[in-house]
Amino acid sequence: MTESIDPARAAYAFANRFVNVLVTLPNGTPLRTAGRCGGMSYSVLDHVTSGRDVPTWPAGLFAPGRVPPDGHLVADHLRARQLDSFRSVSALRFVTWSALPDRDLGPLAGVRTRTRRELPGILRALAEGRPVVLGMVVARHLLRAGDNHQVVATGVSRGATGPVLTLLDPNSPGREVSLVETPEGWHASNGRLWRGFFRHAYAPRTPPALPSASRRPTVRVRPGAPLALVHVATGRLLVVADGGPALRATGTTTWTPTGGPALLTDGATVSLVTGDRALTVVGTTPVLGSADGTAADGTADGWRVVVDGGGPWRQGSRVRLLHTATGALLAGTADALTTSWTPDACTWWTIATTP
């Protein structure tokens, strides 16, 4: 049996519910496909191979969408690796195996036989502690080839009737899935029945440095305790760059909430201080100002914390930050740190794992 891989740290915390817009037709109709299972599987194995945890982004942060939106660093990374997963000869098997029968038809080997031919190499790799990407086949027609799937096999053990494979399945985040052969096909513990599978070609890449939400989501936020902030819609960190606040893919700026009660809750007002400066707004532009709690015109300056759903501000909370002096919400896009008067998806923040 191979060394156990912790799915809480090796796999993404959200399920594979992506919708990909491949092209928009001349009449304005978008052509969509579902899922980025290949990108998620490749990325998981990239991180395992590099000895790094995947960034944690719980699905609740992206409600109601449940996955990071396009433009988010993680979503764009997974889309790129999804395309990589199709740039191999083995990817053609998703199509060719979909057209094959389960059992042999004369000299034509069926999906069952072809899977058994693949199995020794897969088991050997797993026994040597080398996880592999599997192409899972369920489709029975060329036009349904998109229903096929990709997972990462991480281990193998001996079951009563044969080998039991352990999988990280992008459709079942946060837990391992077991796969065993039955008379009907290969049955997974998450309820899926697969016709068969093959070892999918994989070339490792060093994963980019992707910001992560906090790995201690239940810890309450206290005044005076430094924290890092990350923008939910883009996955970019709130840092000081070029003399002012900015959104960046990497950075090490920490912000200290000052003022407010001993345990911060929805509606508390704090200053966000880094070094000897505080985050503020001049006009409509986020800037660094005085750390003494006053705006440029001498009025009280601070940020009211609006916790999604109310209650305590915890590290895993999704929050909005409302500037008390101007009434503006701290917002952002892939291009810039901004302010907004519309409480939309671009105005959510959460606490990041400190780089």
Tens-place pLDDT, residues 55-96: 999 999 999 999 999 999 999 999 999 999 999 899 999 999
Tens-place pLDDT, residues 231-250: 999 999 999 999 999 999 99
Q: Is the pLDDT of residue 279 over 90?
A: yes
Write the CB contacts of 64 (distance below 8 Å, at least 6 apart in sequence).
none
Share of the chain above pLDDT 70, in %: 93
Predicted pLDDT of residue 1: 37
48 φ, ψ to 5°? -60, -45
Report the alpha-carbon distance of residue 202 to residue 212 in Å, rounded.
25
Predicted pLDDT of residue 2: 41
DSSP string, 7-36: HHHHS-SS-S--EEEEEE-TTS-EEEEE--
Report the alpha-carbon distance of residue 30 to residue 343 in Å, rounded.
27
Q: Is the pLDDT of residue 153 over 60?
A: yes
What residues does 237 pair with on adjacent strands? 230, 248
Give the pTM.
Answer: 0.93
How far separated are the first and last CA of the chain, in Å rounded? Answer: 34
Predicted pLDDT of residue 25: 56
What residues does 132 pair with on adjacent strands? 153
Q: Give me the domains of the chain, ranges plus CATH numbers.
A: 7-199 (no CATH), 228-352 (2.80.10.50)
The whole-chain average pLDDT of the chain stands at 92
Residue 259: helix, strand or coil by DSSP? coil
| Contact between 213 and 231 (Cβ < 8 Å) | no
Residue appearing with tokens 């959200």 = 14
